[in-house]
Structure 1
Amino acid sequence: MQGLSQTRDLVGYGGTPPAWKLPGGAKLAVSLVINFEEGAEFAVSDGDPQAEKISEVVSVVPPGRWDQGNEQIFAYGMRAGIWRMLAALEKHRRAVTFYMCGRAVERLPQVARRIVEAGHEAACHGWLWRPHADYTDRDSELNDVRRCVEVMETATGQRPTGFFCRGSESPQTRSILRELGFGYASNGFDDDLPYWDMSDPQHPLMVVPYALDSNDMKFFHPNGFVRADEMVDYVRDAIDMLLEEGEAGHPKLLNIGWHLRIAGRPGRFAAFKRVLALLDSYGHRLWVARRDAIAASWRSQFPA
């Protein structure tokens, strides 16, 4: 397909990853990400052609009709979930990255600002919670990413340096990120370490990979988590495996993803609290950091 930003790379580091040195002698980097997208999902009341379908249950509302229930399920994240999460992060003294959709920030700029004032990173998550693969022309996508950046900068006082979109990028997404001066992209599910996209050698773009396995979205999927401890146990197993590799001389990156409307619910918030306590229990063996700090660490040791 013409226009793709890069060809498929099935080799990566070929079994010989760089020896990444983490702050304080840590043996594993951990990225906690919270998605700030409620209010940016597809909703008929916002003029979108149909409502978002992924939710607590499969919607019985026909496409194109107003889905009050699903809108309220999303609203719960902003009305209740965000405050539980911010309080827990403050208690554990953790600074994390929030993936923020522009329309959500436009609706709740005061909440976005409070997040940044609490020490968290605001990364761009697109204007809407939609796959960027849906864009059919570059100008529309560029305008939406630029719009998201401007709204975020106005609300928080900071320009986002990181980007992640739902699902897949379009063939032109990374050229847009380069044009707008982003420091890193996160639409990479193919490694445990950052790497450089050199498809434009004059403008290399760092990819800080993300992951969907250790992610509370699995509570919304039938092959995923049901009880809070199932996610906690999964995260513990991932930490132990990657620590083994880190202690052998090759520290890696573990991503743990959360959503306000999912883990913000009382029964699943237990997973959020227990994962924070689990991270604390490993002490200085883990470096829990914002994604911009992870990108800076990689850039300083392995420049393009």
Structure 2
Amino acid sequence: MKNTTRYPRDWQWPGDAKICVSVNMAFEDFLRASQVTLEKTSNKIDHFSLSYSDYGWKSGVYRILDLLDEVGIKASVSTNGLAAERHPEIVRLVADAGHEVNAHAWANDQLMRDDDPDAELAEIRRCTQVLTQATGGTRPVGWVSPGSAGSANTLGFLKAEGYLWNGDDASDDLPFLKDTPHGPMVITPRVNIFHNDYAMWIQGKNPPQVIWDGFKDTFDELYREGERGSPKWTELTLHFHMAGRPTLIPTVRKCLQYARQHEGVWFARKRDIAEHALKRLGGAKA
């Protein structure tokens, strides 16, 4: 179908889908504090805050995986190396269910620096090894830095270590290629910010309804663009220790069931999206 919008990129999804929908989960662990705390304790480890994140492996993961089974969708899960080291049985459960396990640095409250490339490369290799072992031998091909806060060296290191895609970007509605010293990296931009459980529910202190409102409005607008020959992509982000709580599950179910009601929707993991982008774009730059 001819593109009748002003968006300049010529794009197609498999099966000429009008829209791509993905689910990105997050399995995170922390050294000092998670995203939620009752009192600021900058001078010590925040034990309550760490217990908040423990909900993910103790309870939340099972509820989210059950929901994905219910709606028949395979997802990606951004996984800290520390979480995989401490709870390899959870990572194996996710992988055995057919979901993609991608890397999410070592600990979610520890960021890499531009001026310490040796430490970053060592962390990438350590995460890769731990995740490969935890999944039973499936090597991760995707990487998202905590907070998408990668360094100036991240893309080059990832490409050299055999990674396919990176999600530390928010500049487009579709994947694109970015050059590195070791070849092109597929960039899968953050199309999930406005239906991200952390940003919109926990950090935003909004009722769960705001995620449904944002997802539906985004889906409807992009679906119309797809009908006009300019297909796009949107994503729902679910942290095991946040969206895995019973409060948010009905909203997530509503979002995914709504997308399921439409024809011409490609439900894909990030790996599937990146592989399609690499095939479609070849060696072209962004």
Normalising by structure 2, report the TM-score: 0.90
**CA positional deviation for 1:234:** 1.0
**Once the two structures are superposed, what CA deviation does each residue of 1:90-120 show, in whole Å capped at 9, x if it has no partner?**
1111100000110000111111011111000
2:21 matched to 1:30? yes
User: 2:112–2:120: 8 Å Cα contact kept in structure 1?
Assistant: no
Unpaired runs of at least 5, structure 1: 1-13, 44-50
**CA positional deviation for 1:242:** 0.6
Separation in structure 2 between the aligned mates of residue 148 and residue 180 of structure 1, nearest angstrom = 11
**CA positional deviation for 1:243:** 0.9
**CA positional deviation for 1:175:** 1.2
Residues 1-304 of structure 1 correspond to what in structure 2 (within 5 A)? Answer: 15-18=7-10, 20-37=11-28, 40-43=29-32, 51-52=33-34, 54-55=35-36, 58-130=37-109, 132-134=111-113, 136-156=115-135, 157-167=137-147, 168-200=149-181, 203-210=183-190, 211-217=192-198, 218-222=200-204, 226-282=206-262, 284-304=263-283
**CA positional deviation for 1:240:** 0.6
Separation in structure 2 between the aligned mates of residue 61 and residue 132 of structure 1, nearest angstrom = 20
Q: What residue identity is the alignment partner of 1:159?
A: R
Note closer, same or farther for the CA distance 1:185–1:66 as it changes in structure 2 (3 Å cut): closer
User: 2:159–2:180: 8 Å Cα contact kept in structure 1?
Assistant: no
User: 1:26–1:287: 8 Å Cα contact kept in structure 2?
Assistant: yes
Normalising by structure 1, report the TM-score: 0.85
Note closer, same or farther for the CA distance 1:66–1:137 as it changes in structure 2 (3 Å cut): closer
Unpaired runs of at least 5, structure 2: 1-5
**CA positional deviation for 1:131:** 6.0
**CA positional deviation for 1:199:** 4.6
**CA positional deviation for 1:25:** 2.6
Separation in structure 2 between the aligned mates of residue 143 and residue 33 of structure 1, nearest angstrom = 25
**CA positional deviation for 1:136:** 3.2
Separation in structure 2 between the aligned mates of residue 128 and residue 136 of structure 1, nearest angstrom = 19
Q: What residue identity is the alignment partner of 1:292?
A: R
Separation in structure 2 between the aligned mates of residue 61 and residue 214 of structure 1, nearest angstrom = 27
**CA positional deviation for 1:219:** 0.9
**CA positional deviation for 1:149:** 0.5
User: 1:263–1:271: 8 Å Cα contact kept in structure 2?
Assistant: no
**CA positional deviation for 1:68:** 2.2
Q: What residue identity is the alignment partner of 2:15?
A: G
Note closer, same or farther for the CA distance 1:102–1:199 as it changes in structure 2 (3 Å cut): closer
**Once the two structures are superposed, what CA deviation does each residue of 1:29-57 show, in whole Å capped at 9, x if it has no partner?**
112100011xx2132xxxxxxx34x21xx
Q: What residue identity is the alignment partner of 2:146?
A: R
Separation in structure 1 between the aligned mates of residue 184 and residue 111 of structure 2, nearest angstrom = 21
After the TM superposition, list the runs of 4 or more consecutive aligned residues in structure 1 that deviate by more than 6 angstroms.
Answer: none
**CA positional deviation for 1:171:** 0.8
Q: How many residues align?
A: 274
